[in-house]
A and B are shown apart, each in its own frame.
Chain A
Amino acid sequence: MTPNPLSECATHRMTRMTPDLSLPAPSLHAAPTPASRRGFMGLALAGATAPLWPDLAQADAMNPLAIIMNSGEASVSVIDMTTRKVVRTVPTLREPSHWALSPDRSKLYIADASGNALFVMDPVTGTGLGHMVMADPYQIGYTPDKRYFVVNALRLDFVDVYDGATLKLVKRFKVGGMPSHLDFSPDSRWSFNSMQEPGTLVSLDLTTMTVRWKSHVGSTPAGVMWYKDHVYCCVMGENYVAEVDPVSGKVLRKIPTGGIGPHNIFLTPDRQTIYVSNRVGGSLTALDPATMAIRRVYPFHAAGPDDIAVDPQGKLWVALRFHEKVAVLEPVSGDYETIDVGRSPHGIFLNTMMSRPGIVTAEKL
């Protein structure tokens, strides 16, 4: 398989990438939105005249915002990244968890799992735009070619594949209990979905809409990441990240993280470090991407670290689920400051990630 740098950013990723020339060249404006694609609360699913992405001048001028999904209190905290202050708290329906940017980058889709909805925000201004009905979206992501929008419905045990353009359901898979995290192969053919209850990683063939394989990776798998022709899956009920052959599904090795309960996995934009958040151990592990050896373990005592995002200064923004805080960590010194947010902060989106398309990106960009 030929690695495609573009799609290595598919899920929970922050990677430097080059534009995918196989994609159609973006036009300046999206097509007008037909009425049939409007959400039930009057939301236009694609902005009528929204630019495909903010031009660079606008992006440079825009206010850098961090958008934090507070799963435990049905809200989103919008933080001014410069002052480190929460500038507003936007209510959602029930349980905002993870996020994806719309293909034209004009909308931030926030999965509102038990709200059975996608909450839509303007990623530039951090204002709420409305909701769209969707069955239990927990972890969400566009395939690298944007053809499909894949949803892990953790509560209801579905993996739903939607058409990327219309967000109409194409296929529902019932391939295990508690579908957790997901990622894709760079060519968009395969998805990899972790199933917490049977402890498996499942691969779907999105060209034939069939199940390719199910592989037992260990107790309660969670975060998934494609990196250099392999799939890495955090095994939360153990103390390792499983390295899996994407073709056969075979577990090639178990990479210890130095912390208990690895939950989520991220690659930095400069591709120099892989970070793993350890849920039970309450720590963050830095791995060397070349060897997967542990470089350093950052403790966040009794805080439940979860999602991570990297800001333009290279600082890590870490959601601390059990402290109602987001930590901003300087990775060299290991020092961090915290910002109070809502209960159970989960997903993190920094709009600085989208300001320069083709240079810096993040999960599902």
Chain B
Amino acid sequence: MFSPLDRFFSTIAGWIDQTVLLPILYHFGWMQWEELSFDWMLVCVYGFFAVIITYAICWPLEALFPIEKWPSQKAVVTDVMYTLVSRVGVLPIFSFLVFYQIQVTVNGFVVDHGYIPPMLETVIPSLLGHPILTFILYALILDCAEYWRHRLSHTFRGWYALHALHHAQRQMSFWSDDRNHMLDDLISGVWFAVIGLAIGIPPLQFPLLVMFMRIVESLSHANARISFGWLGDRLLISPRFHRIHHGLHAAGRVSCNYGAVFPFWDMIFRTADFSDHFPATGDRNAPEAMATGGYVAQQVSGLLYFGQMMKKGRASKARAKAKIKAGVS
């Protein structure tokens, strides 16, 4: 069904690779990256079309069923930039350059010591020949990993200070999905690199399905009064379900609805809230620059907030220790 679409995207990526990227790599003597350059292009092309499809789906929904109407959309413009950087441009290539190299180094080390990392298909050989089933399993594992990464990012004071950038947005829209601090993205990259090493994630085997998952994630941030109904909300994360996570009361170190694509993990680990309301979003404790500043201001502010929170954490620990000591004596 999707094969012609897949072929269309791949052909565009191949054309750009051959006519633009390869000549550049050749010119600068970087041809050792030529095998990967096609993958970079695939990620960028799929990312680009994901943005267009997301826009085509979400913009009418936000226009027809808005939860909030804003006099100025300046804060949303910054989120658009996050999305473009994250999905089409710099970040995919940066991830390839850095994480590919790290993964290769770690892989080489363990293989050289006699351990060849397993993959789902080698652990469960019957999966071979069932690519969609294999993908669903990988998707479930990765989504579960994302649930725990997200939940932990709310648990630790310093980590939440970085993640607060994502929550600070008071004008949450479908563009807000990629609004993250660089360090938070870096932690996320390491997290998934480790999981990739453990289960052997297929990098670009199912780009259309990955694209679908990213669209669901964007949609879940939409400023649209939409739920998927009693059953639908329990199968796929809806804008209503995720908005509760972004609600003012849920910002901080105790929250709910951490899931990204599937709500199962929130249901299993008892953090799901299926309430029928669409709260105001934002984080009252986060610095104002994280909410309304430009890209650089948000990043700098996030870093400063991280420093403050770490300091606060150390002070709090010292106080607790002193209290215990006083109690003992």
Q: Is B23 an interface residue (CB 8 A)?
A: yes
Q: Is A47 an interface residue (CB 8 A)?
A: no
Distance in Å: Cβ of B120 to nearest Cβ of chain A: 10
Q: Of B125-133, B251-259, B261-269, which binds chain A? A: B125-133
Query: What is the bound-complex CA distance between A346 and B221, given in angstroms?
Result: 40
Chain A, range 14-47, C-beta contacts under 8 Å to B: 40-42
Chain A, range 297-343, C-beta contacts under 8 Å to B: 302-304, 321-324, 340, 343
Q: Is A133 an interface residue (CB 8 A)?
A: yes
Query: How many contacts between A and B, using CB within 8 angstroms?
Result: 115
Given contact pairs A91-B131, A322-B18, A323-B11, A236 touches B38 in the complex (Cβ within 8 A):
no
Contact yes or no, A93 B119, CB < 8 A: yes
Contact yes or no, A93 B121, CB < 8 A: yes
Q: DSSP class of B's interface residues: helix, strand, loop or mixed?
A: helix
Chain B, range 1-28, C-beta contacts under 8 Å to A: 6-7, 10-11, 13-15, 17-19, 22-23, 26
Residues of B within 8 A of A94 (CB): 119, 200, 202-203, 205
Residues of A within 8 A of B205 (CB): 73-74, 94
Contact yes or no, B32 A343, CB < 8 A: no
Q: DSSP class of A's interface residues: helix, strand, loop or mixed?
A: loop
Question: Which A residue's beta carbon lies closest to that of B116?
Answer: A116
Distance in Å: Cβ of B101 to nearest Cβ of chain A: 11
Contact yes or no, A304 B121, CB < 8 A: no
Contact yes or no, A236 B34, CB < 8 A: yes
Distance in Å: Cβ of A197 to nearest Cβ of chain B: 5
Contact yes or no, B14 A93, CB < 8 A: no
Distance in Å: Cβ of A52 to nearest Cβ of chain B: 28
Q: Is A158 an interface residue (CB 8 A)?
A: yes
Q: Is B60 an interface residue (CB 8 A)?
A: no
Residues of B within 8 A of A177 (CB): 32
Contact yes or no, A156 B111, CB < 8 A: yes
Count of chain B residues with a beta carbon within 8 Å of a chain A beta carbon? 40
Per-position binary interface string of chain B over residues 148-191, scored 1 when its CB falls under 8 Å from any chain A CB and 0 otherwise: 00000000000000000000000000000000000000000000
Residues of B within 8 A of A191 (CB): none
**27 cross-chain CB contacts under 8 A:** A42-B125, A74-B205, A93-B119, A93-B121, A94-B202, A116-B116, A135-B111, A135-B116, A136-B111, A154-B35, A155-B104, A155-B107, A156-B108, A157-B108, A158-B108, A178-B32, A196-B32, A219-B31, A220-B34, A237-B26, A260-B23, A261-B26, A279-B22, A303-B18, A321-B38, A324-B10, A344-B38
B-to-A contact residues, CB < 8 Å: 6-7, 10-11, 13-15, 17-19, 22-23, 26, 29, 31-32, 34-35, 38-39, 42, 104, 107-108, 111-112, 116-117, 119, 121-122, 125, 128-129, 131, 200, 202-205
- 6 smallest CB-CB distances across A and B, nearest first, come from A322-B14, A220-B31, A302-B18, A156-B108, A237-B31, A196-B32
